[in-house]
Structure formats: structure tokens, C-alpha cells
Amino acid sequence: MKIRKFWYLLLLLPLLILGGCKNQASKKAPAPLTKAEAIKIAGKSFKSGQVIQSLKLSSDTSSQVVIANTIFGGERATFHINNQISSEGKTRHSEIWVNSNHLYMNGSSTWYKADLEKMTSHTYADVVAAIYNNPILTDPSQINYKFSKKKTLYTLTGKTTDAKMIKAFIDSIASSLPQSTNQADVLSRIQKYSKNSALTVELSIRNRKLVGANFFVNAKFGKLMKVRWGQSFGNFGSHDFLKVPTNVLAAKPLPTTKSTKKN
């Protein structure tokens, strides 16, 4: 009897294997995204990621580029920003952390603490709004897109000439990019006297998740200068637990310079 059961199991085994293969084969790959589905996915909120905000001012003879490369995340939004200013072949770098209304800056390997608004002319709320509340990512359906697919990557590309939407986009950068009060004044003048063209948008989706978002506005400033405002997102969900490092929190108060009166 045991021998018969043994042979019965051997005969049954190939059928079980074939049945398992058939079940696996019957699992279909996900249906391709539609344009409407891609737009809906692009509008989902995010807790963390990386964003590069930039301003390029150029003419036929010179150019200046201001860049803020920011990692953001945490239970209370925290920002680690690497700033770069390039002009006339020279580049200056600075590193800061922003948490609440505090600004922590690295000066010659020593961390200093200062009031964010006093140092940069923008508030913590400005930074949060500029990065977390991009008006197009909040509602991507505002734009008329072209939709394309390459292997597993879906891309939405479009543009708008809506003056209010363009102004809101530039405002968010101009109110959070400056690294000093003087720079904030310069950006304000550029913003005021520039003539803007269209806002171009590119949204990238893979595995039913937003993986990249690029926004650019080109403008003219006076007769000779060209301006380009930019904001590029990526690495979503990579810094959900971002915190200001302990050694940075132990920063010294930023020294203040006092003018001396002459007798």
C-alpha cells in the first residue's frame, strides 16, 4: 500500500508543478498607464526628497548662476541646503541647515546659528511653501500635456503662458532662494522688471510613482539680459526622517559686528 501511495505522489508531482507554472503565467503585467492616470499620480503629495532651485542671469558677455541644492524631509520639515554662486569664472559654496526659524551655517568648519529671516529675508514658511506646495504638483491637471512612454518610464510634458501661474512659480523661488538680504533685493528687482515667457513642465513617472519634476521659466530683463528660473525635484521619499545633526544643533551664535563711534 505504501508503494502505491509513493507512485501516486510521483505521478501527481508533475501536475502540481505544471499547475503552478500555469498560475504564474496567468498573472498579467499591469496595464499601461493612461494620461489621466499619470496626471493623477503626479499630483500625490510627498514627505521628502531633493530639489534644485536656480536662477541664471546672462548676457552675450557674462553670466551669473545661483543654485540651492536642497534635501528636505522629517516630521517637522527640515532642509539641508548646499548653495552655489557662480560668476565670472569663480564659484562660491555655502552649506546651511534650516529648521523652524533657525538657520545654521557652516563657516570654516564651525557651525553658527542665526535667525533665518534676518539673514536671508525669507521666512521658514516661505521655504516650506516653495518646496512642498509647488502649485503644479498640487494640481497637475492645470497644464495641457503631451504624454509619452519609453519602456517603464512615462513622461508628461507641457507648458503654460498663464501669467498668474507663472508669477506664483517665480514668487516661490524668489522668496526662498536668496542667501542674503542684498541678494533678496536683487531678485526682487529682476522679478519686477522681467518679461516672462512660458512655464515649461516635465513630469516623470515610473512604477506608478512620481520620480522627477522639472519646471523652467525663461524671461528677458532689460534689452540685453536673459533670465531663467528653475526648480527640479527628485529622490522622493528618500529622507522621511531627516533631522539636523547633533553637532550642528550645538552651533555657536553668529557673531554680530558693532559699529564704533568716533569722537
Q: What pLDDT digit, counting tens, does each position of 115-158 carry?
A: 999 888 889 999 999 999 888 998 999 999 999 999 999 999 99
Closest to 227 (Cα-Cα) out of 179, 189, 263, 178: 189
**Is pLDDT larger for residue 20 or for residue 131?**
131
Q: What is residue 24's predicted lDDT score, i.e. its pLDDT? A: 54
Mean pLDDT over 94-104 rounds to 93
> What is the pTM assigned to this prediction?
0.83
Q: What pLDDT digit, counting tens, does each position of 202-242 carry?
A: 999 999 999 999 999 999 988 888 999 999 999 999 999 99
Closest to 81 (Cα-Cα) out of 127, 37, 126, 19: 127
> CA separation (Å) from 13 to 1, 6, 9, 19, 21?
19, 11, 6, 10, 13
Length of the chain: 263
Q: What pLDDT digit, counting tens, does each position of 159-194 carry?
A: 999 999 999 899 889 888 877 888 888 888 888 888
Structural domains in the chain?
Answer: 35-237+245-253 (2.50.20)
Q: What pLDDT digit, counting tens, does each position of 40-95 carry?
A: 999 988 999 999 999 998 888 888 899 999 999 999 999 999 999 998 788 999 99
Kindly indicate the confidence band of residue 262, based on its pLDDT and cuts at 50, 70 and 90. very low
Find cell 555655502 and name the residue.
94
Backbone angles phi, psi at 198, to 5 degrees: -75, 155
